[in-house]
Amino acid sequence: MSRVSQPLRVTAVCSGNICRSPIAEYVLRDAVDRAGLAHAVVVDSAGVGAWHVGEGADPRSVRVLRAHGYDGSGHRVQQITRSWFDRPGAPDLLLAMDSGHDAALRRMAPAADVRLIRSFDPGLTGVADLDVPDPYYGARDGFERVLAMIEAATPGVVAHVRTLL
């Protein structure tokens, strides 16, 4: 299918789609837009669990995003399921926030392109633990740390996306 008629779809995935993956979605969407690729790439996010479907992102995620110039206030939680891969517009690239999400996505869609988002951070070559830690049970500094990790990986994600177009 031509990318002209079907944009590339990149989906960031975490547990409940309220902390890590919304941060990744808005950071990546901004980077794709700044790279002039918004016409060819759709960025979204989802959770492997359904606990928060329809809700907004965790307020701490929204505050950290806002403090760094991103607007995540319109986020609505969705759950990724096997049915996503049976429809037009299925994700072309899945960005897992941790190894548990990576394993769940690989079970759900064995043929899908699943990567740990931090595998795109050039400063982490040879690092064994590429997980983005879940900040849910912690304080704001955990959300700041998540944002920094995602921002560090974002240029590599955008470079990879260019190779897929």
Q: Which of 14, 29, 115, 118 is catalytic?
A: 14
Q: Is 109 helix (H, G, I), strand (E, B) or coil?
A: coil
The one-character DSSP state at 138 is S
Q: Which of 113, 131, 134, 145 is catalytic?
A: 134
Q: Answer for the pair 64, 144: CB distance below 8 angstroms, yes or no.
A: yes
Q: Which of 20, 29, 115, 118 is catalytic?
A: 20
30 tagged catalytic: no
Helix axes of 20-34 and 59-67: crossing angle, nearest 10 degrees: 30
Query: Sign of torsion, CA 124 18 141 137?
Result: negative
14 tagged catalytic: yes
34 tagged catalytic: no
Query: Catalytic residue numbers?
Result: 14, 20, 134
